[in-house]
Chains A and B, each alone.
Chain A
Amino acid sequence: MSNFKHHIEVHNLSTWFGKKAILKDISCYFEDNTVTAIMGPSGCGKSTLLRTLNRLNDLVPNFRREGEVVFRGENIYDMGYSVYDLRKHIGMVFQRPNPFPMSIRENITYGPKLHGVKDEDELEKIVETSLKKAALWDEVQDDLDKPAPNLSGGQQQRLCIARALSINPPVLLADEPVSALDPISAAKIEELIVELKKDYTIILVTHNVQQAFRVSDQAAFLYLGELVEFEKTKRIIEAPADERTEAFITGRIG
């Protein structure tokens, strides 16, 4: 099964915040160069699942987990597994644009500098390629030294995508990346996600069925912490096997 290089497998994953169970016995996998949509109503654990994949939940007090997340054949929760190394390979884009309060250029070079890239020319090249991949280069190439928070919301989010791409991670996690944006910026970012699929494995959290349908290859439907369905997106949307999935898709729950 594991003939994919950057395959992520989740085995029987359960998580708790304090006493509250968030995810219940979830198993799924994410293949190379596909977009997987994690769908579900608010509070169903979508974001928790995503943030468990790059161990961002570790810092939350009272977080507890059982089960495994296997990335490239290793359990990322094993003792001695370097979380910094993991996050170097799994980039993340957040729900709200969160550019660092620095210049556009510094936002992009932050990651590469952390991981030891010192050469100015190389950094310059990374800035250009990352911004081009995020379809932002044409808009900001003359303003690279301007503060990033002055960009518009959609531009900021694309900058955040560029920042995530700057360290060239094979996997990209996106936590409802367009929910805080206007429709035009949202459409741009959706296009971008489809475009990026060529080079990256993308895991996208969304509660928008239409969006999942437009961009994703496979989809997982979560409901109250349970993985209800995990299938090709087309199959789920056209012929939901479970009645809860159908209710969500037709808008009766959500």
Chain B
Amino acid sequence: MSKEEIQAIDHSESESEVSFIHRLKNRIVDPFDDFLNADRSGKTDKAGKVFLLVPAFASTLIIILILAFLLFESTPILTSPVGGPGIIVNPTWDPNRNLYGIAIFVVGSLLCTTIAIGIAVPVGIGGAIFLSEFCPMRLRQPIKMITEMMAAIPSIVYGLWAYIVLVPYIKNVLAPSLQNNPLTGWIPLFQGDTNGLSLLAGGVILAIMLLPTVVTITTDALQTVPTSLREASLALGATQSETARKIVISAALPGVGAAIVLALGRAVGETMAVLMVTGNSLQIPYTLFDPTYVMTSIITNQLGYAFVFPLWRSALFAVGLVLMIMSVCFTLTAKLFIRWGMKTRGYI
């Protein structure tokens, strides 16, 4: 190797070192410069991009981590010979005898949610149509505000109210009058002795809690429908209620769908109020007046005792896993439905 060549290499090395430091400096300093200059044209806000990426990923990561954690915690019961995935259809829950069937809770939760949605969605959408289409301007804001306040009441307060008012009402008034009335007395749904703590009480209190969500979100969705569509319908000779039913609701269907999804999510996950009024009895309810046990209640009630028994504890986590999968499925189905609605309406 000749001297010049070595020199050349040295030279190039020192130069690359300089440029490396230079580049490092640029790496560190430039983003901050860019951040400070972000409002000048032609500058990309790199630092802002990076900092905002963190919260954006965080929410995704949290979902994945929670799912992983639930899976991990429920592995013992899902792999054990007394458990396995079959627990989801097994109706016998008796930790003392190592029986961990969770079907009762799944059925209880589904029935409670069905009743709640069945009441809250029609009533809520009706209320929203009134607020958005028929209500005098002066009344709309106050009513909406009060409805929004309803959403802020803690669920335990709803539970207390239901325990004192709704449960005795079902026991003393509703059940006897339905069962003694010859018109309705024969219907299987209304049979059975009851102390008021029942599937119906859970469904009704859940429905009341869902109402504000359904009403406010649906109202907002209906209000985004352009006035010109209502006018077009009226100009064709439609009445106001025909316009509301056939044009406004249909145009706002994706938004209404979103309201139902949120309500569903809240319904399956609600714990306190339901726990207080459903009676928490280990049986599958056959009538509206039978007590029931929902998934959230069993976890809250038994986690304390179960913590030192690996299988028992794991079974409770499995209930949580099923709950989570259920609500993810609801959300995904609803998203697909909303997408379909948007497509057929030409929004996307």
Q: Is the CB of B246 within 8 A of A110?
A: yes
A61 within 8 A of B: yes
Q: Which of A84, A96, A100, A101 interacts with B237 by CB under 8 Å? A: A84
Q: Knowing that A59-B234, A91-B235, A164-B236 are A-B contacts, what are 20 other residue pairs whose CB atoms are under 8 Å apart, sorted by A's residue number?
A: A54-B235, A56-B235, A87-B236, A94-B231, A98-B229, A98-B231, A100-B247, A100-B250, A100-B251, A101-B250, A101-B346, A101-B347, A102-B344, A103-B344, A110-B233, A110-B246, A114-B238, A147-B345, A147-B346, A166-B236
B281 within 8 A of A: no
Q: What is the size, in residues, of chain A's interface with B at 8 Å between Cβ atoms?
A: 32
B239 and chain A: residue at smallest CB distance: A84
B11 within 8 A of A: no
Q: A94-B232, A100-B232 are in contact. Are A115 and B250 (CB under 8 A)?
A: no
Q: Is the CB of B250 within 8 A of A102?
A: yes
Which parts of A148-198 form the interface with B (CB within 8 Å)?
148-150, 160, 163-164, 166-167
Given the complex of chains A and B, what is the CA–CA distance between A94 and B229 in angstroms?
10
B242 within 8 A of A: yes
Q: Is the CB of A150 within 8 A of B346?
A: yes
A142 within 8 A of B: no
Given the complex of chains A and B, what is the CA–CA distance between A115 and B250 in angstroms?
19
CB distance from B258 to the nearest CB of A (A): 16
Report which A residues bind B (CB closer than 8 A). Answer: 54, 56, 59, 61, 84-88, 91-92, 94, 96, 98, 100-103, 110-111, 114-115, 146-150, 160, 163-164, 166-167
CB distance from A142 to the nearest CB of B (A): 17
Residues of chain B lying within 8 A (CB to CB) of residue A59: 234
A-B pairs with beta carbons under 8 A, tally:
76
B43 within 8 A of A: no
Report which B residues bind A (CB closer than 8 A). Answer: 137, 226, 228-229, 231-239, 242, 246-247, 250-251, 343-347
CB distance from A117 to the nearest CB of B (A): 12
Which of A86, A96, A102, A146 is the most central at the interface, judged by chain B CB atoms within 10 Å of its CB?
A102
Residues of chain A lying within 8 A (CB to CB) of residue B237: 84-88, 111, 114-115, 167
Name 14 A/B residue pairs within 8 A (Cβ), A-sorted.
A59-B234, A85-B237, A100-B229, A101-B229, A102-B250, A110-B236, A110-B247, A114-B236, A148-B346, A149-B345, A160-B232, A163-B236, A164-B236, A167-B237
Main SS at interface, chain B? helix
B236 and chain A: residue at smallest CB distance: A111
Residues of chain B lying within 8 A (CB to CB) of residue A92: 231-232, 235
Given the complex of chains A and B, what is the CA–CA distance between A251 and B223 in angstroms?
40
Residues of chain A lying within 8 A (CB to CB) of residue B250: 100-102
B345 and chain A: residue at smallest CB distance: A101
Given the complex of chains A and B, what is the CA–CA distance between A84 and B229 in angstroms?
17
Q: Which of A85, A91, A103, A150 interacts with B236 by CB under 8 Å? A: A91
Q: Is the CB of B231 within 8 A of A56?
A: yes
CB distance from A14 to the nearest CB of B (A): 23
Given the complex of chains A and B, what is the CA–CA distance between A163 and B234 in angstroms?
13
CB distance from A8 to the nearest CB of B (A): 15
Which of A100, A101, A146 is the most central at the interface, judged by chain B CB atoms within 10 Å of its CB?
A101
Residues of chain B lying within 8 A (CB to CB) of residue A88: 236-237
A112 and chain B: residue at smallest CB distance: B236
Given the complex of chains A and B, what is the CA–CA distance between A150 and B345 in angstroms?
9
Given the complex of chains A and B, what is the CA–CA distance between A84 and B232 in angstroms?
13
CB distance from B139 to the nearest CB of A (A): 12
Q: Is the CB of A56 within 8 A of B234?
A: yes
Residues of chain A lying within 8 A (CB to CB) of residue B344: 102-103, 147
B343 and chain A: residue at smallest CB distance: A147
CB distance from B130 to the nearest CB of A (A): 16
CB distance from B234 to the nearest CB of A (A): 7
Given the complex of chains A and B, what is the CA–CA distance between A115 and B247 in angstroms?
15
Given the complex of chains A and B, what is the CA–CA distance between A215 and B147 in angstroms?
53
Q: Which 10 A-B residue pairings sit nearest by Cβ, starting from the closest?
A: A147-B346, A149-B346, A101-B345, A92-B235, A98-B228, A111-B236, A87-B237, A88-B237, A150-B346, A84-B237
Residues of chain B lying within 8 A (CB to CB) of residue A54: 235
Given the complex of chains A and B, what is the CA–CA distance between A111 and B239 in angstroms?
11
Given the complex of chains A and B, what is the CA–CA distance between A103 and B239 in angstroms?
22
Residues of chain A lying within 8 A (CB to CB) of residue B228: 94, 96, 98
Which of B232, B238, B242, B343 is the most central at the interface, judged by chain A CB atoms within 10 Å of its CB?
B232
Given the complex of chains A and B, what is the CA–CA distance between A96 and B232 in angstroms?
11
Q: Is the CB of A61 within 8 A of B346?
A: no
CB distance from A178 to the nearest CB of B (A): 16
Residues of chain A lying within 8 A (CB to CB) of residue B234: 56, 59, 87
Residues of chain B lying within 8 A (CB to CB) of residue A163: 232, 236
Residues of chain A lying within 8 A (CB to CB) of residue B229: 98, 100-101
Q: Is the CB of B347 within 8 A of A149?
A: yes
Residues of chain A lying within 8 A (CB to CB) of residue B251: 100-101
Given the complex of chains A and B, what is the CA–CA distance between A10 and B178 in angstroms?
62
Residues of chain B lying within 8 A (CB to CB) of residue A115: 237
A97 and chain B: residue at smallest CB distance: B228
